[in-house]
Copies of this chain bind each other. A is one copy, B any other.
Amino acid sequence: MTHTYSIGIDIGGTNTDMGLVRDDGAIINRSNIPTNAYIDLQPYIRDMMACINKMMDESNVESIEGIGIGAPNGNFYTGCVDNAPNLTIKGVLNFEQEIHHYMDVPVVLSNDANAAAYGEMVYGGAKGMKHFIMFTLGTGVGSGIVIDGKLVHGSTGAAGELGHSILIPNGRRCTCGRNGCLETYTSARGIVQTYFELKGTPVSADIDSKAIGDMANQGDPVALKTWETVADQLGLAMANSVNFSAPEAIFLMGGPTKVGDPLLKPLQKAFDKYLLNIFAGSCKIHMSQLKANEVAILGAAALIKMKE
| Dominant secondary structure of chain A at its interface with chain B | loop
- Whether A162 lies near B243 (C-beta < 8 A) is yes
Kindly name the residue among A131, A236, A278, A283 whose own CB sees the greatest number of chain B CB atoms within 10 A. A278
Interface string of A134-171 (1 = CB under 8 A from B): 00000000000101101011111111111011111100
Chain A stretch 74-106: residues in CB contact (< 8 A) with chain B:
none
**List of B residues within 8 angstroms of A162 by Cβ:** 243-244
A173 to chain B minimum Cβ distance, whole angstroms, is 14
A306 to chain B minimum Cβ distance, whole angstroms, is 13
Number of chain A interface residues as a range? 35 or more
| Residue in B closest to A148 when the chains form the complex, CB atoms | B150
* Known contacts A154-B245, A154-B246; is-contact A169 B168 (Cβ 8 Å): yes
Kindly name the residue among A73, A150, A160, A279 whose own CB sees the greatest number of chain B CB atoms within 10 A. A279
Instruction: Judge whether A276 is part of the interface by a CB distance below 8 angstroms.
Output: yes
A155 contact from B248, B273, B277, Cβ within 8 A? B248
A41 to chain B minimum Cβ distance, whole angstroms, is 20
Q: In the bound complex, what is the Cα–Cα distance between A104 and B223 (angstroms)? A: 63
Chain A stretch 160-203: residues in CB contact (< 8 A) with chain B:
160-162, 164-169, 176-178
Instruction: Judge whether A274 is part of the interface by a CB distance below 8 angstroms.
Output: yes
- Whether A244 lies near B246 (C-beta < 8 A) is no
A114 to chain B minimum Cβ distance, whole angstroms, is 12
**List of B residues within 8 angstroms of A217 by Cβ:** none
Q: In the bound complex, what is the Cα–Cα distance between A263 and B165 (angstroms)? A: 23
* Known contacts A176-B276, A274-B178, A277-B176; is-contact A240 B156 (Cβ 8 Å): no
- Whether A278 lies near B246 (C-beta < 8 A) is no
A17 to chain B minimum Cβ distance, whole angstroms, is 24
- Whether B155 lies near A282 (C-beta < 8 A) is yes
| Residue in B closest to A240 when the chains form the complex, CB atoms | B165
- Whether A240 lies near B166 (C-beta < 8 A) is yes
- Whether A244 lies near B247 (C-beta < 8 A) is no
A77 to chain B minimum Cβ distance, whole angstroms, is 11
- Whether B145 lies near A244 (C-beta < 8 A) is yes
* Known contacts A147-B147, A150-B148, A152-B147; is-contact A158 B277 (Cβ 8 Å): no
The 4 closest A-B pairs by CB, nearest first: A154-B246, A159-B246, A155-B248, A131-B155
> What is the interface of chain A, defined by CB distance below 8 A to chain B?
73, 130-131, 145, 147-148, 150, 152-162, 164-169, 176-178, 236, 239-241, 243-248, 273-274, 276-279, 282-283
Given contacts A131-B154, A166-B274, 7 further A-B contacts (CB under 8 A): A155-B248, A158-B246, A159-B243, A161-B276, A166-B240, A178-B276, A244-B244
